[in-house]
A and B are shown apart, each in its own frame.
Chain A
Amino acid sequence: MKKLIFLLLAVGAMFTSCDPMEDIYNDLDSVETPIVGSEDYTLVADDYTAMGLSFSSFDTEDQAKELIPGFLSDTYSIWGKGSSVLVTYDLYKSNSIKSTTAYTVTEDDYDTLGFTYGNFDSAGDMTTLLMYKYPDAVRGDLVELTYLYYASGSTTEVTNSFILLDAWEMITQFSIEDYNAMEQTYANFSNEDVAEFNISVYLKTLFPYAMEDDSVVTMYELYVSGADNEMNLVPYVFDGSSWNAVSSVVSSSLQFGHDGDTWVPDNTIKYTVASADYTYMSSQLISVSGFEGPAESMGNYGNFDRREGNSNYWSLDMIETAMAILLDNNDPSAADDQKYLMTYDIYNGTNTTESMSLIKTDGVWVINE
């Protein structure tokens, strides 16, 4: 009998040697749990050098998208899927003239583009012509355009210069009278700083009724001693009280996200739903059929009830609806393809959070699978 008892105890000990939680822990451990970080970072001079650039700026946005992921992989080597970094960098936007072409608009051009009177009559018409005529133009291409323009009851032939910067812009040029008005004896400036300042003052006279954000591209002649004079291009923006020259180095930012393998440009905004948001969603949904109970519960507790089968249960479809309502309120002007990662409080027997990724598609917020 004693042997039997010891046998039973031995069998029991075998049970015990097993760790009851082992299988569950193995399953849990087999799911990768990357370290998720979020950061705002502004590139410094050394960073551009590290990326093999000789200047502390990118020439194009595409160049930034190409080079920054490698930099992020080195800098945030332990961060994984779901991490995001908002990178602020300098973009060099050249305002120099790369080429100059002269062109006179032909009758065929007017016909082809539908100008049946054989002339232009609004500012946008020249842009239409230039886009048609120079589809492969690049930044810095200048066209001296001669065309017929109808205004104030008569058609006259005019010649103006246009340059492709971010878009085609008509260039404001200065006559000798203008230079004199800007306190220059000759039809040029001999100092760039003086030119930039004086033009900014003079533009007030030229455009006394300018509104905030109005812009003008100016071109002046710079006297260079012992060489040919240069034509210099300076864009200005009006801030409501004065005209400011636009620098050729522009501060830009791009958000990158880690997709599990590498960093990719990702505009996802991470947003934690706040107390007032629950109140708003609740108020918007409280009388919507099927949402009455859940919306009331959300208003009371400031969370989504995620106990399946409970009368106040929020399914993922219902949460998507609520999030779309919230985003339309909080960020109505978001462009298509804008992504949001919404983190919200839930109750599933305990208080915790869940996250949902949404993207604006055709003006509507939907789950981003």
Chain B
Amino acid sequence: MKNIKQNLFFAIFMVISTVSFAQSIVTGTTVDPDSNLPLPGVNIVEKGTKNGVSSDFDGKFTLQTTKTDAVIVISYIGYLSKEVPVSGNVDLGKIKLESSEFGLDEVQIIASVAVDRKTPVAVSTIRSEEIELKLGTQEFPEILKSTPGVYATKSGGGFGDGRINLRGFESDNVAVMINGVPVNDMENGAVYWSNWAGLSDVTSSMQVQRGLGASKVAVPSIGGTINIISKTTDIEEGGSIGTSVANDGYLKFGATYSTGLMDNGFAATVSAYKTDGNGYVDGTEFNAVSYFLNISKQIGEDHKLSFTAFGATQRHGQRQNRQLISTYRATDSGKRFNADWGYKNGQVTHQEDNFYHKPQISLNHYWNISDKTTLSTVLYASFGSGGGGGYSGTNKFGLGTDGVSDYRTGLYGPVDFDKIVDENEAQGAYGSETILRASRNDHNWYGLLSTLDTQITDDIVLIGGVDLRTYKGIHFSEVTDLLGGQFYADDADVNNPNATYKVGDKWSYNNDGLVNWLGVFGQVEYSKDDLSAFVSLSGSNTSYKRIDYFNYLDSDPDQETDWYDFFGYMAKGGANYNLTDNHNVFANIGYFEKAAGFDGVFIGFDNENINPDAENQKIFSMELGYGYRSQKLTANINLYRTTWDDRTETYTFNQPDGTSSTANLLGVNAIHQGIEVDFTYRPTDRLRVTGMMSLGDWRWDNNLEGVEIYDEEQNLIETVDLYIEDLHVGDAAQTTFALGANYEIMERTNLMLDYNYYDNLYAAYDPSDRGTAGAPDAWKAPAYSLFDLGLSHNFDMGPFDVRLLARMNNIFNVEYISDANDGTGSTANTALVYYGAGRTFSIGAKLNF
């Protein structure tokens, strides 16, 4: 809309400028289309000449043209070039450049990307250029580590095993959307970042919306929403090749090519990267290939079609078992120590590993029905295949007493798989004692998301749509290595008792989780002058069904359950008011109910004892925000309070007739509140300083005392007590600071220094386990500070625009605990922990053409 206004402005300007001079002065200000902030370094050239300037730090430029009537070309990487005919002295005013990516604006609508000084939610946005600068060898979620409310770690340190908590909430309470498509697991809500290895290479922007977020569809946005927009297709032809090397044998290389928008209306981009390495942590070797394909076509004036397919196939060794601090200290590897790997026949063999491939395929259709109405539709599918490896049978993988084990080579040494193989061989016709297996978690997921956006009056926009999903989770255990034995015997399959299994066979369990989702949403947006506001309503029906091929006979009707429906809804609203050009304030408030997860309905892999009355979780959240925008300083302050009531809590007991039954315990509540401050300061055009402070107060709210559970005959079965009042929520640092500087030390060369501080990290624990009165808070891990250093250098080499990047993370090699599980007595001696990575480095080069 603003673009139209601008075009009108130029047209009128051209009509009235009738006076001609031999030369003329053209002035203007280039601004970023999203933030409305000045965009420095934009090239302004008089077409057909070498006469050109760059916009300065404030986005301002002054160009003296050689002719009175000239065409000015305004260009910047990542944006479409703009040609403006001028005549005589003219001030072009604010010039907004449009993204050069085809369909990006449209996908941002589907994805509910928040707009600064308009959408009343707390956001932080990181663009592809910054992702490239910051990522190095870090896990994808770690890009956000300097964002308020975020706690992101590598977890065990395996490739793709990173995790992110937002405002103290775990991944099942953080909505993640890729191009507007929700990707949280349909059964348990979790997000597995290893599914998205390589996504960082094709990410256009990553926006964290803290709290309720701007999403119109019903998503589990309790902590917030992470909105990832992939690249689409570049309208201009070009591409890049890149490679990087890093610590511990890390090597990555790949290429991207875009055809540009061709005369026939087609445009395509392909990208592929291969990444291999040994991992910083012992026994976390990995291989991954990621790919991205986008084909877009403009059909007539009003239709755009865009087909996107991306994914990554990866396999990586994992550190699954956390250890005591004293164990790490006793080992030679220290913070790199991992107990979950060994050698078989001279080859590294992982006791714990993960492999997955999940192509995400979508077809987007954008239709300008009229000037005022658009319809955006995504039809998508994803096919997950893979799982996590581990062992079954006799456990020969323990560390033993003080690291001495018959099945390890040396003190705390790697697993001696050869010994296990020998023992399995000796078992002969009795079959393997110990095997490796994979817990497969495949799925097929199809969805349709359609959004109609119509302008009712000049000030009011009505948005409505549907969100349909159908999902089948396929769960089974697969024998992956008999470790020398002839077979593995197991009687878990009632349809095949006394079965013997070989590699590739399904054994132990085999069941499907079916989920159907039907959602509708509507939103009214009001925007006039300095005020913008919205009210949003959405409802969703989740249906669950379970099929168990092993626990129930094929002849048993219980093998397949009925469908069980759960209804959730969300109502939220908010407003932003721009007090002046510098100051804005906003507020939002919302309530939603989230259906229990699949495991809260089908408890204990049971098709008979179903919990059809699983309670909704209830979330109430409100937030106040203040923003300051000026050419040198932008700053935000947010205050939030989120209450999370009736966390799914079930208790299983036996009825008098011997069947088991489930009680839903209500009242496990948490309150997460806090204050977040972030700023960007540009004292000169060569220095940019960013900073963040996030102070959270996240606690469980109240004790559950004397909750009585009765069976059908009103016999008192159990009195449940949970003592959790005022206990700090664990697993995420409640206090975080960040400070960063990006300084242009010479032309096209930048030095970046980032400082992060984390405190009040309480060990993770399950509040359901807190049955003892007076037990202390979970163990608090020591606060830690990390420094990261980066250097980028750009230069031209023939037809290439070359960028060199060097990064060193944790430059002081600080030893710190990033993840902890609480132990007996909640002390440092009993906590099971992961150490964060020590000093790591990476060097990369990218050639753009």
- Asked if A352 CB lies within 8 Å of chain B CBs, one says yes
Q: When the two chains form their complex, are residues A352 and B823 in contact, meaning their CB atoms are under 8 A apart? A: no
Across-interface contacts of A301 in B (CB, < 8 A): 395
- For residue B784, which residue of chain A has the nearest CB? A20
Chain A CB within 10 Å, residue with most, of B323, B397, B400, B783: B400
Contact with B along A343-362 (1 / 0, CB 8 A): 10100111111010000000
A9 engages B769 (CB within 8 Å): no
Complex Cα–Cα for A130 and B515 (A): 90
B814 / chain A contacts, CB cutoff of 8 Å: 16, 19-20
C-alpha spacing A111/B265, complex, angstroms: 129
Do residues A310 and B739 form an inter-chain contact, with CB atoms below 8 A? Answer: no
CB 8 Å contact bits of B338-350 with A (1 = contact, 0 = none): 0100000000000
- In the bound complex, what is the Cα–Cα distance between A25 and B816 (angstroms)? 12
In the bound complex, do residue A24 and residue B757 qualify as a contact, i.e. CB atoms below 8 Å apart?
no
A175 at interface, CB cutoff 8 A: no
Given A16-B814, A345-B395, A353-B400, A8:B824 Cβ within 8 A: no
Whether B659 sits at the interface, judged by CB under 8 Å, is no
Asked if B787 contacts A12 (CB within 8 A), the reply is yes
Complex CA gap A309/B832 in Å reads 16
Closest to B738 in A: A12
A303 within 8 A of B: yes
Asked if A28 and B326 sit within 8 Å, CB to CB, the answer is yes
Evaluate whether A28 and B325 lie within 8 angstroms (CB atoms) in the complex, with A20-B783, A21-B816 already known. Answer: yes
For residue A343, which residues in chain B have a CB less than 8 angstroms away from its CB? 401
For B683, the closest partner residue in chain A by CB is A1
Query: Which single member of A12, A307, A351 contacts B769 (CB below 8 Å)?
Result: A307
CB-based contact B816/A352 at 8 Å? no
Asked if A350 contacts B816 (CB within 8 A), the reply is no
**Chain B residues with Cβ under 8 A from A299's Cβ?**
none
Q: List CB contacts (< 8 Å) of B382-407 with chain A.
A: 394-395, 397-402
Is A331 engaged at the interface, CB distance under 8 Å to the other chain?
A: no
Write out the residue numbers on chain B whose beta carbons fall within 8 Å of the beta carbon of A302: 394-395
> Does A284 make an interface contact (CB < 8 A)?
no
A349 surroundings in chain B (CB, below 8 A)? 321-322, 821, 823, 832
Q: Which residue of A lies closest to B824 (CB)?
A: A308
Q: What is the CA–CA distance of A355 and B402 in the complex, to the nearest angstrom?
A: 12
**Bound Cα distance A238, B110 (Å):** 97
Instruction: Tell me if B683 and A350 are in contact (CB < 8 A).
Output: no
A348 to B821, CA, bound (A): 10
Which residue of chain B has its CB nearest to the CB of A343?
B401
Q: Whose C-beta in chain A lies nearest to the C-beta of B755?
A: A12
The reply on B768 being an interface residue by CB < 8 A is yes
Chain A residues, Cβ within 8 Å of B817: 20-21
List the A residue with the shortest CB-CB distance to B832.
A349
**Is A306 an interface residue when CB atoms closer than 8 A count as contact?**
yes
Produce 1/0 per residue, A1-19, CB < 8 A to B.
1100100110011011011
Mark B725-741 against chain A: 1 for CB-CB distance below 8 A, else 0: 00000000000000101
Interface residues of A in 171-214 (CB under 8 A from B): none
- Note all chain A residues with C-beta closer than 8 A to B832: 348-350
A23 at the B interface (CB under 8 A): yes
> Are B812 and A12 touching (Cβ within 8 A)?
no
Give the residues in chain B near A8, CB-CB below 8 Å. Answer: 691, 739
Interface flag for B815 (CB, 8 Å): yes
A306 to B825, CA, bound (A): 12
Q: A301 vs B766: C-alpha distance in the bound complex, in angstroms?
A: 21
A268 and B105 CA atoms in complex are apart in Å by 76
Chain B residues 283-321 with CB under 8 Å of chain A are: 321
B329 interface residue, CB < 8 Å from A?
yes
Within the complex, what minimum Cβ distance (angstroms) separates A322 from chain B?
18
The answer on a CB contact under 8 Å between B769 and A308 is yes
Q: Is B770 an interface residue (CB 8 A)?
A: yes
Nearest B residue (CB) for A308: B824
Q: Are the C-beta atoms of A350 and B753 separated by less than 8 Å?
A: no
Output the least CB separation between B338 and chain A (Å): 12
**Docked-complex contact B769 and A19, CB < 8 angstroms:** no
Q: Which residue of chain A lies nearest to B328 when distances are taken between CB atoms in the complex?
A: A21
Query: Does B782 touch A at the CB level, under 8 Å?
Result: yes
Q: Number of contacting residues on B, CB 8 A?
A: 50
Kindly state whether residue B527 has any CB partner on chain A within 8 Å: no
Q: Which residue from A16, A24, A309, A348 sits with its C-beta under 8 Å from B771? A: A309
B125 within 8 A of A: no
**Residue of chain B at shortest CB distance from A303:** B395
Give every chain A residue within 8 A of B828 (Cβ-Cβ). Answer: 24, 27-28
Bound together, the chains give a CA A28 to CA B321 distance in angstroms of: 21
- Residues of B within 8 Å of A351, CB to CB, are 321, 395, 397-399
Instruction: Output the least CB separation between A345 and chain B (Å).
Output: 6
The residue that B321 contacts in the complex, of A13, A275, A307, A350, with Cβ under 8 A, is: A350
* A275 engages B394 (CB within 8 Å): yes
Are B329 and A28 in touch, CB under 8 angstroms? yes
What is the chain A residue whose CB lies nearest that of B812?
A16
> How distant is B292 from chain A, measured CB to nearest CB, in Å?
38
Complex CA–CA separation, A353 to B757 (angstroms)? 35
B785 at the interface (CB under 8 A from A): yes
B766 surroundings in chain A (CB, below 8 A): 309
Query: Which residues of A are found within 8 Å of B815, using beta-carbon distances?
Result: 19-21
* Residues of chain B contacted by A308 (CB below 8 angstroms): 769, 772, 824
CB within 8 Å for A353 and B398 given contacts A9-B739, A19-B815: yes
- How many Å from the CB of A291 to the closest CB on chain B? 15
Q: In chain A, what residue has the closest Cβ to B815?
A: A21
Q: Which residue of A lies closest to B782 (CB)?
A: A20
Separation in Å of the A116 CB from the closest CB of chain B? 63
Contact assessment for B755 and A9 in the assembled complex, using a CB-CB cutoff below 8 Å: yes
Contacts of A5 in B (CB 8 A): 689, 741
**CB < 8 Å: which of B326, B753, B812 contacts A9?**
B753
Known A5-B741, A21-B782; judge A353-B401 contact (CB<8 A): yes
Distance to closest chain B CB from A3 (angstroms): 11
> In the complex, what residues of A have CB within 8 A of residue B400's CB?
353
Cα distance, A366 to B321, chains bound together (Å): 33
Could you say which residues of chain B place their CB within 8 Å of the CB of A1?
681, 683
Choose one: B325, B753, B823; the contact of A24 (CB below 8 Å). Answer: B325
A353 contacts which chain B residues (CB < 8 A)? 398, 400-401
Cα A13 to Cα B786 in complex, Å, equals: 9
Q: Considering the complex, give the chain B residue whose CB is closest to the CB of A12.
A: B755
On whether A25 and B329 interact (CB within 8 A), knowing A20-B782, A349-B322, the answer reads yes
> For residues 805 through 839 of chain B, which have their beta carbon under 8 Å from a beta carbon of chain A?
812, 814-817, 821, 823-824, 828-830, 832
For the complex, what is the distance from the CA of A351 to the CA of B396, rounded to whole Å? Answer: 10
Q: Is the CB of A16 within 8 A of B739?
A: no
Chain B stretch 620-637: residues in CB contact (< 8 A) with chain A: none
Question: Closest residue of chain B to A27, judged by CB?
Answer: B828
List A contacts of B782 (CB < 8 A): 20-21, 23-24
Complex CA distance for A303 and B400, rounded to whole angstroms: 13
A38 and B122 alpha carbons, distance in the complex (Å): 63
Q: How far is the CA of A352 from the CA of B395 in the complex (A)?
A: 11
Most buried by A among B769, B785, B787, B821: B785
Bound-complex Cα distance A349 to B821 (A)? 8
Closest residue of chain B to A25, judged by CB? Answer: B329
B398 and A352 within 8 A (CB): yes
Closest to A36 in B: B402
Contact B757 A12 (CB under 8 A): yes
Sample of 16 A–B contacts (CB below 8 Å):
A8-B691, A9-B755, A12-B755, A12-B757, A20-B784, A20-B785, A20-B814, A27-B829, A28-B326, A303-B395, A307-B769, A345-B398, A349-B322, A349-B821, A351-B321, A355-B401
- Extra inter-chain contacts (17) besides given A20-B817, A350-B322, CB under 8 Å: A8-B739, A15-B757, A15-B783, A16-B812, A19-B814, A20-B784, A21-B782, A21-B816, A23-B782, A24-B828, A309-B766, A309-B770, A309-B772, A348-B823, A353-B398, A353-B400, A353-B401
Write the residues of chain B forming the contact surface with A, with a CB cutoff of 8 angstroms.
321-327, 329, 339, 394-395, 397-402, 681, 683, 689, 691, 739, 741, 753, 755, 757, 766, 768-772, 782-787, 812, 814-817, 821, 823-824, 828-830, 832
7 closest Cβ pairs, A-B complex: A309-B769, A20-B782, A15-B785, A20-B784, A350-B321, A12-B755, A351-B398
